[in-house]
Amino acid sequence: MIRYGIIGCGHIAKKHKKAIDDVDGAKLVRVCDKDPDKLTHFTEQGVSGSTDVMEILTSPDVDVVNICTPSGLHADLTVRAAEQGKHIVVEKPMALTLTDAVRMVQACDHHGVQLSVVHPNRFRPAIRALRCRVEEGAFGTFSHANATVRWNRDQEYYDQASWRGTRRMDGGVLMNQAIHNLDLLLWMMGEVEKVSSFHSTRLRNIETEDTSVSILTFKNGALGVVEAAVTLYPRNLEESLSLFGETGTAVVGGPTANWIQAWKFADMTDGETEAVMRRVNDNPYGIPGHHCLIQDMTEAVQKGSRPLVTGEDGMRALSLAVACQRSAETGQSVYIDDLLEEFVGKEGEMK
């Protein structure tokens, strides 16, 4: 039995609890939040609760710590958990700076613990089907790709908590809302060479950007567009991932990227295409992504293997977000390798 503790008992922590409860071999034993009222949901169900984070970090009955706090707190808590020998599941984004992301990965490597970053959208049926087509080479040579997040987060959303919309704790639309789509784009298309970005704070009274548009050049020569905004009226409109190649076209979209909207490949008949779309779109949510991640971490700890979504994976998505923000702030294109060399040596060893 792998025993879990959750730090931060806000909305997302309830998803973690359900995932842990539903996974064989996993058990939630402790939760922590500085606000005692937020512990009630968990303690009423028999889970031990505390306002002192060290009670979880030093507890001998906790194997894995799930960090569900505001994003700006992820790094310090991850390092402290690693120092206590705890494996870690950290919510997205793993950090708000590459300095912090490097600290997290280094600490986990040094103390021999596993680090998994919560990018649950990888487990959606449509995304899994898309990944299979990429691995099979069904697109041929890629021409370009689009990652789009057109959502609504109104001013009331930001006013609910003082950390939302801040640079120190939230990070903006790229870090907070679009980071999952950036992860999927990289997972499908491979590494980015350079970015040219523009962002703005158009409609929300916040410190960070609420609208962002970026042009990417991938190392494979393909081009890309990232559009992310929380300014859509009056509600979420679209989250989509579109891939285009010489022998394939695919669009996964909807209000969230759960439905296949276009699926055309040279090696598939119309009947085969319809069968795939029907299979996915009849059950677009599948097994919840948090369930898949907890099951994966449970097995990784039991077997001593690496989790499917690693700290390095989380850092790739973060690197792209940071590069987009830096380009927008400086008005210059940013080369990802140059950015990473500030934190990671040319041979891949972290500084």
How many beta carbons lie within 10 A of that of residue 119, not counting itself? 24
b/e 130-167 (16+ beta carbons within 10 angstroms → b): beebbeeebbeebeebbbbbbbebeeeebeeeeebbbe
Backbone angles phi, psi at 34, to 5 degrees: -70, -20
Flag residues of the chain having pLDDT under 50.
346-348
What is the rounded distance in angstroms from the CA atom of residue 78 to the CA atom of residue 111?
Answer: 12
Torsion of CA 90, 93, 97, 103, to 10 degrees: 20
Do β-strands 238-245 and 248-253 pair in parallel, antiparallel, or remain unpaired? Answer: antiparallel
- List, in order, residues 6 or more apart from 152 with CB less than 8 Å away: 230, 231, 232, 233, 234, 235, 236, 237
What is the rounded distance in angstroms from the CA atom of residue 302 to the CA atom of residue 23?
Answer: 13
Query: Pick from 9, 99, 104: which is nearest to 53 by CA?
Result: 9
Q: All domains of the chain, ordered by start, with CATH?
A: 2-120+290-307 (3.40.50.720), 122-287 (3.30.360.10)
Q: Check residue 345 and give its pLDDT.
A: 61
Q: Check residue 348 and give its pLDDT.
A: 45
Q: Check residue 349 and give its pLDDT.
A: 53
Q: Check residue 347 and give its pLDDT.
A: 44
Backbone angles phi, psi at 10, to 5 degrees: -80, -160
